[in-house]
């Protein structure tokens, strides 16, 4: 097909010229044979077909054009001209690649790279056409397909897909918007949806005189241990099972409700935090009944692979007041109540009270002050003596009151004075300050211990005991830290006793591995507060410890309770059979000391012998033998 003129108005003339050339070529090539009438009729039919084809090309709803391999346009229909002419910087349509050079330079490169003799070079290549600055041309999206006919010719198709692109983008935005409202792991509503649901409940409460709703904030107790010991994949499986149990339980609770808008909502805020919103409650006691039902279901074991995991859930319940409340405030109050449930031991629900705000504010202030205390050296270490209870059989043995000391941290607050460790140790664990605090105590105590050895000689304590936290034992670099500290301080490994609580040592495999690594350094390990955790006498041999410290709760009852005396004696006997030493904690009276001594405890510790002392006072206590 011949190429029409490229200027505006030349397309129709080009079509007429093309039609004339098609007819003349076919007649001029000697198609008249022995039967001219038939041949003329045949040619007439062909001319009719050509006319129909030309009509189709020029009326087609998409742009069609034929070019050379270099992009020179040989044939173009009106739709192509209409779509491409506004893009031509030279005002002509001589070359397709030049017209599209500024917005689709890749087309020329794609043709050059296509080495096959014929075939599809590209299909529906989308080209974004920016809107003109003067507003005469709106934002537009073109679709271009290129077909290689032979070595010298290309066929191009051009169409306006702006509306189609807009529809696709609208659908995509809708899907993304929906995805942004759903938690990917559990497929529950996420924080955005939860806030919107609570907002609707608040509006309903303000509009309805007797409308009541409750928000429950759920959090797993010690969920981080699962991720740390079994991996995040196992933790994710637990979260999915929790979500499933929540949905199934609330469907049963809501069974018989006919109104769809009265159904409770279950959502996941993130991590191991879930939220439930209960609509149209008859009374606040209904929400408490639901919380109790959820605890019974959620505290059942979880089967993950070939493991059965036991974990508990803490729930905070809030009944929002209708005035001056918003979704974030509701979630905050429910979260505060949940934290109170955890502090009360977990595996329970607690309803929010206004006084909890004050406690939460004080706790937040305490966290800030504690971080500052570590930086500004407000912490200090005191030492409580551990004395020998049994008579020494070796004439050269050290004095009984120099058996050892336990290092304990204290905080001298610039405003509040001395802050009890009972008040700030738990806060340090929750806010991530416990590792820095623990390292400070270890470094201070080890250097002080060596100083006592140098100054007091035979009267110096023979053993230094320091408590460890879960966070320290989870730290992969902790063993290297201890090794470096022993080297830098000059302290012998066998003189350092690191103590872990019974529940920590017995429950966590990673902790037990770390304890074995510490034991390999040559130091001593002790099981603190024995009798209050999860261990039993039958499993004591499985723990890599050399000393068992009997909890003060047993010692305090030993004088009046035969039951407690039997438990202490059994512990002493089992420990002795395993070549472990025993220490009785919290001895405050001579009677208690006499009982635990009679029962065979090796050492004792408590206010009867001495309160925790500063380094200087302990040195004086050791030198004077004042017990």
Average pLDDT over residues 182-197: 91
Q: Mind listing the pLDDT tens digit for each residue in 143-175? A: 999 999 999 999 999 999 888 888 877 777 666
Q: Mind listing the pLDDT tens digit for each residue in 373-399? A: 988 989 999 999 999 998 754 544 455
* For the chain, domain boundaries: 11-165, 181-353, 363-624
Per the CB < 8 A criterion, the answer to whether 124 and 143 are in contact is yes
Using alpha carbons, list the distances in angstroms from residue 8 to 13, 82, 92, 160: 11, 10, 8, 20
Q: Mind listing the pLDDT tens digit for each residue in 230-281? A: 888 999 999 999 999 999 998 866 544 544 456 789 999 999 999 999 987 8
Residue 127 bridge partners (DSSP): 142
Torsion sign (Cα): 612, 616, 622, 626:
negative
Question: How would residue 414 be classed by pLDDT, with cut points 50, 70 and 90?
Answer: very high
Q: Mind listing the pLDDT tens digit for each residue in 124-141? A: 888 888 877 766 677 888
Per the CB < 8 A criterion, the answer to whether 164 and 89 are in contact is no
Top-confidence residue, 136 or 578: 578
Q: Mind listing the pLDDT tens digit for each residue in 536-574? A: 677 788 888 999 999 999 999 999 999 999 999 999 999
Q: In 3-state terms, the chain is what percent helix, strand and coil (to 5)?
A: 50, 20, 30
User: In 3D, which of 409, 407, 433, 412 has the Cα closest to residue 421?
Assistant: 409
Q: In the 8-state DSSP scheme, what is residue 583?
A: E
CATH label, 363-624, candidates 1.20.1740.10, 3.20.20.450, 3.30.70.1450, 3.60.15.10? 3.20.20.450
* CATH code, residues 11-165: 3.30.450.20
Alpha-carbon gap, residue 523 to 544, rounded angstroms = 11
Top-confidence residue, 93 or 91: 93
Question: How would residue 401 be classed by pLDDT, with cut points 50, 70 and 90?
Answer: low
3-class secondary structure, 32: coil
Can you name the CATH fold of 181-353? Alpha-Beta Plaits (3.30.70)
What is the residue-averaged pLDDT of the chain? 83
Alpha-carbon gap, residue 523 to 526, rounded angstroms = 10
H helix or E strand, kind and range, residue 315: strand 313-318
Q: In the 8-state DSSP scheme, what is residue 61?
A: S
pLDDT at 252: 66
Alpha-carbon gap, residue 586 to 584, rounded angstroms = 7
- Residue 15: pLDDT over 70: no
H helix or E strand, kind and range, residue 235: helix 232-253
Q: Mind listing the pLDDT tens digit for each residue in 285-311? A: 999 999 999 999 999 999 988 888 888
pLDDT at 195: 92
Degrees, nearest 5: CA angle 387-616-585 = 25
Alpha-carbon gap, residue 99 to 156, rounded angstroms = 13
Q: Mind listing the pLDDT tens digit for each residue in 440-461? A: 999 999 999 999 999 999 999 9
């Amino acid at each position: 097909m011949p190429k029409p003129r490229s200027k505006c108005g030349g397309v129709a003339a080009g079509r007429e010229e093309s039609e004339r050339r098609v007819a003349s070529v076919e007649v001029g090539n000697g198609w008249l044979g022995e039967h001219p009438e038939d041949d003329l009729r045949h040619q007439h039919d062909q001319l009719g077909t050509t006319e129909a084809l030309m009509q189709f090309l020029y009326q087609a709803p998409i742009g069609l054009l034929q070019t050379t391999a270099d992009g020179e346009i040989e044939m173009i229909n009106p739709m192509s001209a209409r779509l491409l002419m506004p893009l031509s910087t030279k005002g002509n349509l001589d070359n397709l690649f030049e017209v599209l050079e500024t917005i689709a330079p890749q087309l020329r490169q794609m043709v050059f790279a296509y080495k096959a003799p014929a075939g599809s070079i590209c299909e529906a290549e989308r080209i974004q056409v920016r809107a003109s600055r003067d507003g005469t041309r709106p934002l537009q999206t073109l679709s271009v397909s290129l077909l290689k006919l032979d070595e010298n010719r290309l066929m191009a198709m051009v169409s306006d897909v702006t509306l189609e692109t807009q529809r696709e983008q609208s659908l995509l935005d809708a899907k993304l918007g929906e995805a942004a409202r759903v938690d990917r792991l559990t497929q529950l509503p996420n924080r955005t949806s939860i806030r919107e649901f609570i907002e609707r409940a608040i509006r309903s409460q303000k509009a309805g005189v007797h409308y009541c709703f409750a928000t429950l904030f759920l959090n797993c107790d010690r969920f981080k241990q699962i991720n740390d010991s079994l991996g995040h994949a196992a933790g994710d499986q637990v979260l999915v099972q929790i979500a499933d149990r929540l949905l199934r339980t609330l469907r049963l609770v809501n069974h018989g409700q006919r109104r769809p808008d009265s159904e409770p909502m279950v959502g996941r805020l993130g991590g191991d935090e879930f939220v439930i919103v209960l609509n149209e409650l008859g009374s606040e006691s209904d929400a408490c009944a639901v919380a109790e039902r959820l605890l019974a279901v959620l505290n059942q074991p979880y089967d993950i692979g070939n493991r059965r995991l036991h974990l508990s859930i803490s729930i905070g319940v809030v009944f929002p007041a209708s005035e001056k409340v918003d979704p974030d405030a509701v979630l905050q109050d429910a979260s505060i109540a949940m934290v109170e449930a955890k502090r009360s031991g977990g595996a329970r629900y607690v309803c929010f009270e206004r006084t909890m705000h004050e406690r939460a504010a004080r706790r937040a202030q305490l966290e800030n002050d504690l971080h500052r205390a570590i930086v500004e050296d407000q912490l200090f270490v005191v030492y409580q003596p551990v004395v020998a209870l049994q008579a020494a059989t070796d004439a050269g043995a050290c004095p009984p009151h120099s058996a050892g000391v336990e290092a304990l941290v204290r905080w001298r607050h610039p405003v509040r004075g001395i802050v009890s460790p009972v008040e700030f140790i738990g806060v340090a664990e929750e806010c991530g300050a416990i590792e820095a605090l623990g390292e400070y105590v270890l470094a201070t105590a080890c250097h002080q211990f060596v100083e006592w050895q140098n100054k007091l000689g035979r009267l110096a304590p023979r053993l230094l005991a320091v408590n460890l936290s879960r966070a320290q034992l989870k730290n992969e670099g902790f063993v290297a830290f201890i090794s470096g500290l022993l080297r830098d301080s000059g302290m012998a490994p066998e003189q350092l006793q690191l103590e872990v609580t019974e529940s920590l040592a017995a429950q966590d495999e990673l902790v037990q591995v770390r304890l074995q690594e510490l034991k390999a350094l040559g130091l001593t390990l002790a099981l603190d507060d024995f009798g209050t955790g999860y261990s039993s006498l039958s499993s004591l041999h499985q723990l890599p410890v050399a000393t068992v410290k009997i909890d003060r709760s047993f010692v305090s009852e030993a004088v009046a309770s035969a039951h407690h005396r039997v438990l202490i004696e059994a512990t002493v006997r089992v420990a002795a059979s395993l070549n472990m030493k025993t220490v009785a904690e919290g001895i405050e009276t001579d009677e208690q000391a006499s009982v635990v001594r009679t029962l065979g405890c090796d050492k004792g510790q408590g206010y009867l012998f001495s309160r925790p002392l500063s380094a200087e006072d302990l040195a004086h206590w050791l030198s004077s033998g004042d017990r």
